[in-house]
Amino acid sequence: MIAERLPLPQGVVDALRCLEGAESRHFVAMDPHHDGAARNETVLPWCAACSRAHWYPALHCPICGRDGWEWRGFGREGTLDSWTVVCHAVTPALRSSVPFTVGLICPVQAPGVRLVSALIVRPDEPLRIGQPVFAGSGPELGRGRLLVFSTERSP
Amino acid sequence: MSRRAKRVACITGVGESVYQRRCAIPVAGLVHAAVTAAFDDAGVTAGEIDAVFTESSVMPTLFPTDKLIAQERLAGVRQASYHSTYGPGIGQAVSAAAAAIDAEDIDTALVYFGVDFGSRPGAVYALHGVHPLKRDLEFTHGLFGQPTYFALFARRYMHVYGVGEDELRDALCAIAVRTRENALTNPAAICTEPLDPERYAAAKMIADPLCLYDCSLTSDGAAAIVLSRAERAEQPVRVLGAGYGQSLLDESSVFTQNPSYPRLPFVQASADRAFAAAGVGREDIDVAEIYDCFTISLLLQLEDMGFCTAGEGAAFVANGAIGRDSPLPVNTHGGLLSQAYVMGINHIVEAVSQLRGRAGAGQVAGATLAAVGLLASREHATLILEAPR
């Protein structure tokens, strides 16, 4: 399970509590995205007029202005667009979690979208931009289950 | 009459408080010190101020215009306004003041900014903590704090332009070291310890590939700027041109969803507009003060402001292009990296000091034109300033 290998959750929960007004409200309910994560699937808002996915969720399509989204699945495959190894804990709550790797992921089937994801890597595994990564089901955190990418395809 | 000849507005006085990592004086007191110094420098009294201008992200809650007006007894103020965010907002405050003076709406304006991000725990990160999308889609994965955003930019920059990690680190080291050298000539700078490549290489990594010395200070301090008509000052610094650029992405998504990533097209728009308004070229600039929240953000702006081409910045910097004796001395005061993190108002103050020949040991000989670049996540402002004639 990816969740067992993810170093972040408790530290992030504590860090989120440190922020003012930790309750988040969004224009678009993101339940389909989090439900998709439970199935190891990348689920994103889709504009039928533009025929493309958009991320982050917005009040209306940023290209054509159309209101209303469909949610569609875009598989598990992604490519690594950039990453960083976070070494410094910006809040005390993250001290036990560093270092960890965070990536920007482009879903192969949703060009133009970039997802932020904690990245599950093997110890000392070399990374390269453009390499394949795979979506999996992460822990429950914040408003739902996280979609978390790994350099290895999990079952 | 040319557009340039119509520009009568000048910066006629500047003032700064002390800059410290943590200061016992509250922001109100820091602003008071800066305003008092700026009034003395400009030779104006509180009663002569017609208008006050500042940025719109930090000041409205930390020290709003009504508190400033009451504290400084600015009885003649008939215009008070907030402009865009953070550093670009300070730049926009200066250009709005200049435009109001050029239009003869007002005679004398005060621009101010003060901050206590050194003293308030977590304050600098809380800027981004207010965005629900960031909280739910980024923080939950550990993308938290400004170094992580710019680390992603740095990594992507290497890939897009075929710059090796050692090559980029050498360039970022050169920026950090040159900037610290400049700070050591500035008695007002917080950093007083020398920095050399060995110390840079040994520094704690913050968010790979950015280490401690790639990141801005956090600090307390304030500065103020008085603008008026040229004939009212002994050493007026003319606001020759101003530009602003912005992105259609809002602050919650701009770091990750920018289609031009890692480029900052709004920086290019801002610089192009300012240089066109001033009627001068990049090659005419004698000194540049550019927002350096991170070494990589300075490198990207050198490219997007047009001082070198996209992808050339690492070689440009590593070859000594920004040093004090180079054709383009940059951040001669020590910048945000080594002087103080006051969101770029210190960059404007330094440009004015350089153009008046008052920069002390850090003076660039014969500086007559300065460019100031001010960056925030989704917007940018550029000022072109001209020395007294």
* % residues pLDDT > 90 (chain B): 85
Q: pLDDT (tens digit, 9 = 90+) per residue, B340-379?
A: 999 999 999 999 999 999 999 999 999 999 999 999 999 9
Which pLDDT does position A2 carry in this prediction? Answer: 53
B-chain residues near A20 (CB < 8 A): 126, 129-130
Q: Which of A8, A56, A141 sits opposite B257 (nearest CB)?
A: A56
Give SS3 for B108.
Answer: coil
Mean pLDDT of B223-239: 92
Q: What's the rounded Cα separation, in Å, for the pair B213 and B163?
A: 20
Angle B308-B314-B319 from CA coordinates, rounded to 5°: 85
pLDDT at A102 over 50: yes
pLDDT at B133 over 90: no
Contact A91 B129 (CB under 8 A): no
Residue B161 forms contact with A (CB below 8 Å):
no
pLDDT classification of B249: cutoffs 50, 70, 90 = confident
Q: Which of A87, A100, A113 sits opposite B206 (nearest CB)?
A: A87
Q: pLDDT (tens digit, 9 = 90+) per residue, B35-89?
A: 999 999 999 999 999 999 999 999 999 999 999 999 999 999 999 999 999 999 9
Dihedral sign (CA B14, B18, B21, B26): negative
A-chain residues near B132 (CB < 8 A): 24-26
Q: pLDDT (tens digit, 9 = 90+) per residue, A110-131?
A: 999 999 999 999 988 999 999 9
User: Which of the 8 DSSP states describes residue A60?
Assistant: B
Closest residue on chain A to B121 (Cα): A91
Contact A85 B208 (CB under 8 A): yes
Residue B126 forms contact with A (CB below 8 Å):
yes
Closest residue on chain B to A54 (Cα): B257
Which pLDDT does position B2 carry in this prediction? Answer: 46
Smallest CA-to-CA distance from B219 within B338, B330, B324 is with B338
Which pLDDT does position A18 carry in this prediction? Answer: 58
ipTM summary value: 0.91
Contact A116 B130 (CB under 8 A): no
Q: What's the rounded Cα separation, in Å, for the pair A62 and B248?
A: 9
φ/ψ (deg, to 5) at A67: -80, 150
Closest residue on chain B to A148 (Cα): B141
Return the amino acid letter for A134: F
- The model's pTM: 0.95
Query: Is there a contact between B122 and A20 (Cβ–Cβ < 8 Å)?
Result: no
pLDDT at B259 over 90: no
Contact A141 B140 (CB under 8 A): yes
Residue B159 forms contact with A (CB below 8 Å):
yes
Name the residue with higher pLDDT: B366 or A90.
B366
Contact A15 B133 (CB under 8 A): no
Give SS3 for B97.
Answer: helix
Q: Which of the residues B144, B157, B206, B263 would you substitute to probe the A interface, choosing the one with the greatest number of A C-beta atoms within 10 Å?
A: B144
Q: Which of A26, A94, A104 sits opposite B152 (nearest CB)?
A: A104
* % residues pLDDT > 70 (chain B): 99
Q: How far, CA to CA in Å, does A78 sit from each of A115, A126, B351?
A: 9, 17, 46
pLDDT classification of B169: cutoffs 50, 70, 90 = very high
pLDDT at A19 over 60: no
DSSP B364-378: PTT--EEEEEEE-SS
The residues with which B112 forms a beta bridge, in sequence order, are: B224
Task: Name the one residue in this structure whose structure tokens are 């180079």.
Answer: B326
Closest residue on chain A to B122 (Cα): A91
pLDDT classification of B232: cutoffs 50, 70, 90 = confident
pLDDT classification of A9: cutoffs 50, 70, 90 = low
Please enumerate, as own/partner, the contacts of B168-172 that have beta carbons within 8 Å and a separation of 24 or more: B168/B209, B168/B314, B169/B209, B170/B314, B170/B318, B171/B295, B171/B299, B171/B313, B171/B314, B171/B315, B171/B317, B171/B318, B172/B209, B172/B210, B172/B214, B172/B295, B172/B296, B172/B299
Element (H, E) at A101: strand A100-107
